[in-house]
Amino acid sequence: MSNQPPYGQQPQQPGYPPQQPYGQQPGYPPQQPGYPPYGQQPYGYPPQPQKRGGCLKFGIIGSLVLLLLCGIGGYFIFKSTVGDATATVDNFMKAGVANDFNAAKALVDSSVLPDAELEGLLSQRELFEGYTGLGAIPSNTSANSNTGEAATLDMTGALNYSSGSGTYTVKMIRVGSDWVIQGIRIRRN
């Protein structure tokens, strides 16, 4: 049997307590040679990069915020468009209540809805008598806006009368910044 210490350890002097290698605390497992103490970086090596989860988190959060902002912007554009279109329908109904042919004609596309049809619609007084306003939000709205073509809008909503209710279905087209009626169907319940 040899009195040589295990590989990597210093020989001990008789009568002295065992020596710990540099950087180790007594009671800890022995340090392997060639490695720095636990928790310390070896000299001359760059620090190891941290996990990249932070970039992924910021990317996901940024995408969600962008999606939310686009959704909110789209809602306000849609609300503005529908608001303008319902104002046109409301003005048309008010022109019908007043039996004002010229005011109603200014709100329709005369190339699609000729004067004779408009006069026939306005002569149906029961559709306009007692009209008080439109329902809060149209129940069915479909918009189309292709590049190079005019924007169109199909909308169905509720009509309020002093004695009851009704519905309307309207097809509209944007001319400049205004919506004009290409066709309207009014039904009183």
Spans of all domains in the chain: 85-188
Over the stretch 4-52, which tens digit does the pLDDT of each residue have? 666 666 666 666 665 555 555 555 555 556 666 666 666 666 666 666 6
Select 85-188's CATH number: 3.40.50.300, 3.10.450.50, 3.40.50.10540, 2.40.50.100.
Answer: 3.10.450.50
Question: What pTM value is reported for the model?
Answer: 0.56
User: Which pLDDT score is estimated for 154?
Assistant: 86
Task: Measure the CA–CA gap between 2 and 21, rounded to whole angstroms.
Answer: 22
Write the single-letter amino acid at 65. Answer: V
Token pair belonging to 176: 């400049």
Check: CB of residue 154 under 8 Å from CB of residue 183. no
The winner for highest mean pLDDT among 29-38, 59-68, 119-128, 171-180 is 119-128
Q: Of 87, 90, 79, whose CA–CA distance to 143 is shortest?
A: 79
Give the pLDDT confidence of 58-107 residue by residue, as tens digits. Answer: 788 888 888 877 767 655 555 556 677 888 899 999 999 999 999 999 99
Tell me how far apart the alpha carbons of residues 125 and 129 are, in angstroms, rounded to a whole number: 6
Cα(155)–Cα(43) distance, rounded to whole angstroms? 73
Average confidence (pLDDT) over 151-177: 88
Q: Predicted confidence band at 152 (pLDDT cuts at 50, 70, 90)?
A: confident
The pLDDT assigned to 87 comes to: 87
Question: What's the pLDDT at 3?
Answer: 65
**What pLDDT does 8 receive?**
60
Residue 117, CB-side half-sphere exposure with 13 Å CA sphere: 12
Q: What is the mean pLDDT of residues 129-147?
A: 74
